[in-house]
Amino acid sequence: MYKQPSSRTCFICGRENDVSLKMNFYNDHEAQQVRSEVVIPEHFNGYPGIAHGGIIGAILDETSGRAIMLDDNMDNLFVTTKLEVKYRRPTPTGEPLTAVGWIIRRDRTRAKVAAELRKADGTVTAQCQATIIKPPDSYLESCNWQAENQFWRVYED
């Protein structure tokens, strides 16, 4: 599997963010999916032993959005315009989970993507569908992407 880049400050993948989940994402070309393993720390709970729904939503948002990079174009950045999350079962903290994302359909400037979060036994705890779009250059300029882009790379484990 091909490892995707990470950033330095992102809450989900950031390598220099103390509270980041530091998730690594991999392209599984055979399955046409992006995958990541994560253990949600207890301090991100909503109830003891159960992950907060906002954390789950953030993981699904990132995972579904990263499916757009299944073409191995790691500069193919999109932003979420709509995210619908369905919570199926409680998502545990402190246990290995797998996040899986894929593309439902896409064109040059927008895509419908999906993701799910699974426990080690395969039980799906949450799912999402999202609409993502390629942002205009002015958006990338306003968030100072050019300065941050140098830190968008594949980091060694």
Q: What is the pLDDT of residue 152?
A: 82
Q: Is there a domain that residue 44 lies in?
A: yes
Q: What share of the chain is helix, strand, coil (3-state, %, to 5)?
A: 20, 40, 40
Q: Is there a domain that residue 157 lies in?
A: no
Count of domains forming the chain: 1
Give the mean pLDDT of the chain.
Answer: 93
The mean pLDDT value for 59-73 works out to: 94
Span 98-109, pLDDT tens digits: 999 999 999 989
Reply yes or no on whether the pLDDT at 143 is more than 80.
no
Span 17-65, pLDDT tens digits: 999 999 999 999 999 999 999 999 999 999 999 999 999 999 999 999 9
Q: What is the pLDDT of residue 83?
A: 98
- The CATH number covering residue 57 comes to 3.10.129.10
Q: Is there a domain that residue 85 lies in?
A: yes
Q: What percent of the chain has pLDDT over 90?
A: 78
What whole-number distance in Å separates Cα of residue 150 and Cα of residue 142?
A: 17
Q: Is there a domain that residue 155 lies in?
A: no
The mean pLDDT value for 138-157 works out to: 78
Asked whether 40 and 99 are in contact (CB, 8 A), the reply is no
Q: Which two three-digit tokens encode residue 85?
A: 């999350």
Task: State the residue range of the domain holding 20.
Answer: 2-146
Strands 45-47, 2-3: parallel, antiparallel or unpaired by DSSP? Answer: unpaired
Q: Is there a domain that residue 151 lies in?
A: no
Q: What is the pLDDT of residue 155?
A: 87
Q: Is there a domain that residue 35 lies in?
A: yes
